[in-house]
Protein backbone atom coordinates (compact mmCIF):
# COMPACT_ATOMS: atom_id res chain seq x y z
CA UNK A 1 0.00 0.00 0.00
CA UNK A 2 2.78 2.38 0.99
CA UNK A 3 4.63 1.53 -2.29
CA UNK A 4 1.48 2.28 -4.26
CA UNK A 5 1.07 5.67 -2.58
CA UNK A 6 4.75 6.48 -3.18
CA UNK A 7 4.42 5.52 -6.84
CA UNK A 8 1.33 7.72 -7.23
CA UNK A 9 3.16 10.63 -5.68
CA UNK A 10 6.17 9.99 -7.93
CA UNK A 11 3.93 10.07 -11.02
CA UNK A 12 2.36 13.28 -9.82
CA UNK A 13 5.82 14.67 -9.19
CA UNK A 14 6.83 14.04 -12.79
CA UNK A 15 3.65 15.70 -14.03
CA UNK A 16 4.32 18.58 -11.68
CA UNK A 17 7.83 19.02 -13.04
CA UNK A 18 6.35 19.32 -16.52
CA UNK A 19 3.63 21.66 -15.28
CA UNK A 20 6.27 23.81 -13.64
CA UNK A 21 7.34 25.01 -17.08
CA UNK A 22 5.78 28.43 -17.55
CA UNK A 23 3.85 28.61 -20.81
CA UNK A 24 1.73 31.17 -22.62
CA UNK A 25 -1.55 30.76 -24.52
CA UNK A 26 -0.86 30.66 -28.27
CA UNK A 27 2.72 29.52 -27.69
CA UNK A 28 4.29 33.01 -27.75
CA UNK A 29 7.47 33.58 -25.74
CA UNK A 30 7.21 34.29 -22.02
CA UNK A 31 9.10 37.52 -21.16
CA UNK A 32 11.64 37.57 -18.30
CA UNK A 33 9.35 39.89 -16.30
CA UNK A 34 6.40 37.50 -16.75
CA UNK A 35 8.68 34.72 -15.51
CA UNK A 36 9.68 36.82 -12.49
CA UNK A 37 6.10 37.50 -11.40
CA UNK A 38 5.13 33.87 -12.06
CA UNK A 39 7.99 32.57 -9.90
CA UNK A 40 6.91 35.13 -7.34
CA UNK A 41 3.35 33.77 -7.29
CA UNK A 42 4.78 30.23 -7.05
CA UNK A 43 6.81 31.25 -4.01
CA UNK A 44 3.66 32.59 -2.34
CA UNK A 45 1.78 29.38 -3.17
CA UNK A 46 4.51 27.09 -1.85
CA UNK A 47 4.62 29.06 1.38
CA UNK A 48 0.81 28.97 1.69
CA UNK A 49 0.41 25.26 0.92
CA UNK A 50 2.97 24.22 3.46
CA UNK A 51 1.57 26.57 6.11
CA UNK A 52 -1.72 24.73 5.66
CA UNK A 53 0.12 21.39 5.86
CA UNK A 54 1.94 22.38 9.04
CA UNK A 55 -1.34 23.41 10.68
CA UNK A 56 -2.91 20.08 9.64
CA UNK A 57 0.06 18.17 11.08
CA UNK A 58 -0.22 20.03 14.38
CA UNK A 59 -3.96 19.44 14.56
CA UNK A 60 -3.37 15.73 13.90
CA UNK A 61 -0.93 15.66 16.82
CA UNK A 62 2.15 14.99 14.64
CA UNK A 63 4.03 18.08 15.80
CA UNK A 64 3.69 20.09 19.02
CA UNK A 65 2.42 23.67 19.18
CA UNK A 66 5.82 25.23 19.94
CA UNK A 67 7.47 23.67 16.87
CA UNK A 68 4.49 24.56 14.70
CA UNK A 69 4.74 28.11 15.99
CA UNK A 70 8.41 28.34 14.99
CA UNK A 71 7.75 27.18 11.42
CA UNK A 72 4.67 29.36 11.02
CA UNK A 73 6.54 32.44 12.27
CA UNK A 74 9.04 31.91 9.45
CA UNK A 75 6.21 31.49 6.94
CA UNK A 76 4.41 34.56 8.28
CA UNK A 77 7.49 36.71 7.76
CA UNK A 78 8.08 35.28 4.26
CA UNK A 79 4.42 36.06 3.40
CA UNK A 80 4.73 39.63 4.75
CA UNK A 81 8.01 40.34 2.92
CA UNK A 82 6.67 38.72 -0.22
CA UNK A 83 3.47 40.75 -0.18
CA UNK A 84 5.59 43.89 -0.07
CA UNK A 85 7.71 42.55 -2.94
CA UNK A 86 4.58 41.88 -5.03
CA UNK A 87 3.42 45.46 -4.59
CA UNK A 88 6.86 46.68 -5.78
CA UNK A 89 6.59 44.48 -8.89
CA UNK A 90 2.97 45.40 -9.69
CA UNK A 91 3.59 48.33 -12.03
CA UNK A 92 5.75 46.57 -14.59
CA UNK A 93 9.49 46.44 -15.34
CA UNK A 94 10.07 50.15 -16.06
CA UNK A 95 8.69 51.23 -12.67
CA UNK A 96 10.24 48.25 -10.86
CA UNK A 97 13.67 49.33 -12.09
CA UNK A 98 13.40 52.44 -9.94
CA UNK A 99 12.59 50.19 -6.96
CA UNK A 100 15.49 47.80 -7.59
CA UNK A 101 17.20 48.37 -4.25
CA UNK A 102 14.09 47.61 -2.22
CA UNK A 103 13.26 44.57 -4.40
CA UNK A 104 16.78 43.14 -4.07
CA UNK A 105 16.75 43.76 -0.33
CA UNK A 106 13.48 41.85 0.21
CA UNK A 107 14.62 38.92 -1.93
CA UNK A 108 17.94 38.74 -0.10
CA UNK A 109 16.12 38.85 3.24
CA UNK A 110 13.83 35.96 2.26
CA UNK A 111 16.77 33.87 1.04
CA UNK A 112 18.98 34.65 4.03
CA UNK A 113 16.26 33.82 6.56
CA UNK A 114 15.49 30.56 4.74
CA UNK A 115 19.13 29.47 4.55
CA UNK A 116 19.77 30.24 8.21
CA UNK A 117 16.66 28.27 9.11
CA UNK A 118 17.81 25.18 7.17
CA UNK A 119 21.53 25.33 7.99
CA UNK A 120 20.95 26.14 11.64
CA UNK A 121 18.38 23.37 12.03
CA UNK A 122 15.98 26.08 13.19
CA UNK A 123 12.89 24.25 12.02
CA UNK A 124 12.94 22.28 15.25
CA UNK A 125 10.83 19.48 13.78
CA UNK A 126 11.72 16.03 15.09
CA UNK A 127 9.39 13.84 12.99
CA UNK A 128 11.61 12.80 10.01
CA UNK A 129 8.89 13.07 7.34
CA UNK A 130 7.65 16.43 8.62
CA UNK A 131 11.24 17.64 8.80
CA UNK A 132 11.90 16.55 5.20
CA UNK A 133 8.73 18.28 4.04
CA UNK A 134 9.63 21.51 5.78
CA UNK A 135 13.21 21.45 4.52
CA UNK A 136 11.98 20.83 0.98
CA UNK A 137 9.57 23.75 1.35
CA UNK A 138 12.18 26.15 2.65
CA UNK A 139 14.60 25.03 -0.09
CA UNK A 140 11.89 25.69 -2.66
CA UNK A 141 11.43 29.19 -1.24
CA UNK A 142 15.19 29.82 -1.61
CA UNK A 143 15.29 28.49 -5.18
CA UNK A 144 12.18 30.37 -6.27
CA UNK A 145 13.57 33.58 -4.80
CA UNK A 146 16.76 32.97 -6.80
CA UNK A 147 14.71 32.33 -9.95
CA UNK A 148 12.97 35.70 -9.38
CA UNK A 149 16.37 37.43 -9.05
CA UNK A 150 17.66 35.82 -12.27
CA UNK A 151 14.49 36.71 -14.20
CA UNK A 152 14.58 40.31 -12.94
CA UNK A 153 18.22 40.57 -14.01
CA UNK A 154 17.26 39.32 -17.47
CA UNK A 155 14.41 41.86 -17.54
CA UNK A 156 16.91 44.63 -16.74
CA UNK A 157 15.27 45.44 -13.41
CA UNK A 158 18.12 44.19 -11.21
CA UNK A 159 21.85 44.39 -12.02
Partner 1 sequence: MNLAAQIIALLQVGGTVGIALWQKLEQLTSLGPDEQANVKAQVEAAIAIDEDTIARIKAWRVLVGLDPAAPAAADPQKPAP
For residue 82, the minimal CB distance to partner 1 (Å) is 5
Q: In the complex with partner 1, which residue's Cβ is closer, 100 or 147?
A: 147
Contact (Cβ atoms closer than 8 angstroms) between residue 9 and residue 107: no
For residue 53, the minimal CB distance to partner 1 (Å) is 3
Q: In the complex with partner 1, which residue's Cβ is closer, 104 or 150?
A: 150
Q: Of 140, 124, 130, 112, whose CA–CA distance to 48 is shortest?
A: 140
For residue 149, the minimal CB distance to partner 1 (Å) is 13
Alpha carbon dihedral 51, 52, 58, 64, in 10-degree steps, equals 10
Q: In the complex with partner 1, which residue's Cβ is closer, 77 or 105?
A: 77
Q: In the complex with partner 1, which residue's Cβ is closer, 31 or 153?
A: 31
Query: What is the rounded CA–CA span in Å between residue 123 and residue 137?
Result: 11
For residue 67, the minimal CB distance to partner 1 (Å) is 7
Handedness of CA 35, 38, 42, 44 (dihedral sign): positive
Amino acid sequence: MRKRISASIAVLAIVAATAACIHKAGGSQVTPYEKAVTYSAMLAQANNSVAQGVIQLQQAGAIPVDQTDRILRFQYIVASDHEELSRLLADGPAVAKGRAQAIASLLTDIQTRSRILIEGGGLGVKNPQSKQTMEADVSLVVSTAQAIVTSLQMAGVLK
